[in-house]
C-alpha cells in the first residue's frame, strides 16, 4: 500500500517538476513564449562593413546599408513585391551582422581578411544597385532578426519551395529552432514547377557513379531505383539506387535536379535502343530551408507585411 502511494507520489512529483519544461518546450515550438528582447540587447549595425572582393583579391570597406541594398538587388528580382524585398533586406542585413559579430575584423577560413565575401559563399554583392532594393534597405534600416533575444545567425533563403519548406536537419547537419518546415502557399508565379528531367536507367547509373565512385552499386535497373522515404517538407529523404541508399539531396546534386521535391516514373522501352527511361518531375528551386523568395513575393501580393513574411518563414523570430 505504502509503496503504491509512494509510486503515485513519485510520478506526481516527476510530472510536477517537468511541467515548466514541457510548457516552455511547447511554447517554443508554437513560436510563443520565445520572449522579446529589451532595447539594451538590440544589436547596433555599424556604419561600415569590410567585404572581401573575391575577383580583386582585396578587402573593401562599404557603407553597411549600401551593402545591404546591393545584396538585395543581386539576390532577388527587382520586380518582386516591395514587402518581399524588405524581408530580403532584413535577412541580408542579419546574415552580414551575424558574421561581423562572429568574426569581428577577421573572417572564416575561406577569406580570413573579412567577415563576408561578395560571392555565393556568403551573399552575392556587386555595386549594381536598384531603386527598389535601395528603398527596401532604407525603409528597414538597422532592423535585424532575433530568436529568443539573440541575433539570428542563419537567415537562410532560396528561390522557391514547391509548396512546403524544410526542417534544417533534413537538408543540412543540424536542427535550428527557427528553420522548421512551414507551408508556402503563394508560389503561383514561381519558375521550376513540375520540371521534368528524363534519363535512361544507364544515364542515372553513370551520373550517380561519377558522383560517388567509391560505392558498389550492384545491379541498377528499373526495379532497384526507388524512393524509400520523404522528409517533413515532402522532399525525397532516402532513395535506393542499386544496392546503395542515398540521401535525396545527394541524388538531387548528382542528377542536377532543381529540388529534392521530386517524383519518379518509368517509361519502358521509350529510350534510345529500347531502354527504359526514368522521368524525374521536380517542383521548387533551391535547398528549401528558411525563406522562399517566390513565397515571400506571393505573400506580399496577398497583403502580408515584411515582418509577417519573416515571422512565417523564420518561426518564432522577432524583428527589431
Footprint on this chain of Zn ion (rule: CB under 5 A): 117, 121-122
Least spacing, CB of residue 96 vs Zn ion, in Å: 10
- β-strands 145-147, 150-151 pairing: antiparallel
* 8 Å CB contact between 194 and 281: yes
CA angle 224, 226, 230 (to 5 degrees): 155
Return the number of the residue (101 or 245) whose C-beta is nearest Zn ion.
101
The per-residue DSSP string of 253-298 comes to HHHT-S-S-EEEEEETT-SGGG--EEEEEE-SBS---SEEHHHHHH
Least spacing, CB of residue 120 vs Zn ion, in Å: 8
Read off φ and ψ for residue 169, nearest 5 degrees.
-70, -20
Least spacing, CB of residue 52 vs Zn ion, in Å: 7
Residues paired with 320 in a beta bridge: none
Return the number of the residue (91 or 251) whose C-beta is nearest Zn ion.
91
Give whole-number Cα distances, 125 to 114, 253, 291, in Å: 14, 25, 19
Return the number of the residue (118 or 277) whose C-beta is nearest Zn ion.
118
Return the number of the residue (97 or 204) whose C-beta is nearest Zn ion.
97
Return the number of the residue (36 or 112) whose C-beta is nearest Zn ion.
112
Least spacing, CB of residue 222 vs Zn ion, in Å: 43
Least spacing, CB of residue 251 vs Zn ion, in Å: 27
Return the number of the residue (54 or 82) whose C-beta is nearest Zn ion.
54
Least spacing, CB of residue 169 vs Zn ion, in Å: 23
Largest CA distance in the chain: 81
Neighbours of 38 (CB within 10 A): 9
- β-strands 277-282, 195-200 pairing: antiparallel
Least spacing, CB of residue 27 vs Zn ion, in Å: 35
Least spacing, CB of residue 123 vs Zn ion, in Å: 8
* 8 Å CB contact between 65 and 141: yes
* 8 Å CB contact between 122 and 99: yes
Return the number of the residue (49 or 299) whose C-beta is nearest Zn ion.
49
Does the CA dihedral 252-258-261-263 come out positive or negative? Answer: negative
- CA nearest 310: which of 154, 147, 145? 145
Return the number of the residue (118 or 166) whose C-beta is nearest Zn ion.
118
Amino acid at each position: 500500500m505504502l509503496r503504491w502511494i509512494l509510486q503515485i507520489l513519485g510520478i506526481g512529483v516527476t510530472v510536477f517538476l517537468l511541467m515548466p519544461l514541457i510548457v516552455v518546450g511547447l511554447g517554443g515550438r508554437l513560436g510563443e513564449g520565445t520572449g522579446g528582447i529589451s532595447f539594451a540587447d538590440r544589436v547596433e549595425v555599424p556604419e561600415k562593413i569590410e567585404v572581401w572582393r573575391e575577383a580583386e583579391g582585396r578587402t573593401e570597406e562599404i557603407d553597411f546599408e549600401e551593402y545591404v541594398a546591393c545584396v538585395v538587388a543581386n539576390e532577388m528580382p527587382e520586380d518582386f513585391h516591395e514587402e518581399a524585398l524588405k524581408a530580403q533586406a532584413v535577412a541580408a542585413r542579419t546574415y552580414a551582422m551575424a558574421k561581423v559579430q562572429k568574426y569581428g575584423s577577421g573572417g572564416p577560413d575561406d577569406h580570413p581578411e573579412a567577415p563576408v565575401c561578395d560571392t555565393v559563399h556568403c551573399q552575392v554583392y556587386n555595386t549594381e544597385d536598384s531603386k527598389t532594393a535601395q528603398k527596401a534597405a532604407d525603409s528597414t534600416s538597422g532592423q535585424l532578426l532575433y530568436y529568443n533575444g539573440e541575433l539570428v545567425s542563419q537567415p537562410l533563403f532560396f528561390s522557391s519551395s514547391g509548396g512546403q519548406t524544410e526542417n534544417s536537419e533534413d537538408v543540412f547537419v543540424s536542427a535550428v529552432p527557427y528553420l522548421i518546415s512551414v507551408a508556402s502557399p503563394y508560389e503561383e508565379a514561381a519558375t521550376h514547377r513540375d520540371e521534368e528531367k528524363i534519363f535512361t536507367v544507364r544515364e542515372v547509373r553513370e551520373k550517380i557513379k561519377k558522383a560517388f565512385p567509391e560505392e558498389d552499386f550492384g545491379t541498377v535497373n528499373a526495379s532497384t531505383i526507388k524512393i524509400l522515404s520523404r522528409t517533413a517538407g515532402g522532399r525525397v529523404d532516402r532513395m535506393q539506387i542499386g544496392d546503395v541508399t542515398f540521401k535525396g539531396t545527394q541524388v538531387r546534386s548528382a542528377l542536377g535536379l532543381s529540388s529534392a521535391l521530386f517524383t519518379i516514373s518509368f517509361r519502358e522501352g521509350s529510350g534510345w535502343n529500347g531502354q527504359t527511361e526514368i522521368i524525374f518531375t521536380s517542383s521548387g528551386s533551391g535547398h528549401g530551408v528558411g525563406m522562399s523568395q517566390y513565397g515571400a513575393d506571393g505573400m506580399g501580393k496577398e497583403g502580408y507585411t515584411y515582418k509577417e513574411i519573416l515571422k512565417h518563414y523564420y518561426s518564432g523570430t522577432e524583428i527589431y
